[in-house]
Amino acid sequence: MNNHPQQPSNRSEDRQNLLLLLKDAQRRSGYLSDQLMRELAESVGVTCSEIYGVGTFYSFLSTRPQGRNIIRACKSLPCCLKDSHLVISSIEGAIGIRAGEITPDGRFSFELVNCIGACDSAPAILVNNDLYTELTPRKISQILKEYD
Ligand code: FES
């Protein structure tokens, strides 16, 4: 008979702790490099694939370097039905890069993401933690002027 029953593993709690750890690491380092994720995996005793799985699942975590300001444009259906493609084109024109890139001066990175929770006011984008809704292409350059 086993006198030392194993504690049941709480995968949800483990995953939540990994998420907090990765958010903190990204805040300190700017993004989650391969080396950083290997070091974190070793320090908390999980596999690199577990760390990588969490690090690539959430759109607010990045495994690539980011600009000083991160523009996240919603690409989900309700925004698409409200012409988000025009807003996305306007952003690309205003900063001279396409989604997935960083401006040469490091001022902006631009990403397309799934719903950001503002479907009732589509189309919507986030710039860092600031939400902008009911966008039109004409509003974009004025918004982006606010970010150095
Ligand atoms: S679908 Fe765009 S904010 Fe929800």
Residue 103 belongs to domain with CATH number: 3.40.30.10
Q: Same structural domain for residues 79 and 111? A: yes
| Dist. CA 91 → ligand 1 center (Å) | 17
User: In this predicted model, what pLDDT tens digit does every residue of 101-143 receive, in sequence order?
Assistant: 999 999 999 999 999 999 999 999 999 999 999 999 999 999 9
Q: Same structural domain for residues 93 and 121? A: yes
Q: Same structural domain for residues 116 and 95? A: yes
- What residue numbers bound the domain in which 28 lies? 11-57
pLDDT at 43: 87
Q: Which of 119, 132, 133 to mutate to test the pocket of ligand 1 (most atoms within 8 A of CB)?
A: 119
- Number of domains present in the structure of the chain: 2
Q: Same structural domain for residues 139 and 83? A: yes
* Average pLDDT, integer, range 77-96: 97
The answer to whether the pTM exceeds 0.75 is yes
Name the average pLDDT for the chain: 89
Residue 41: inside a domain? yes
Q: Same structural domain for residues 36 and 80? A: no
Lining residues, ligand 1, CB within 6 Å: 74, 76, 78-79, 115-119, 122, 124
| Dist. CA 133 → ligand 1 center (Å) | 10
Tokens standing for residue 144: 């982006």
Residue 99: inside a domain? yes
Amino acid, res. 128 = N
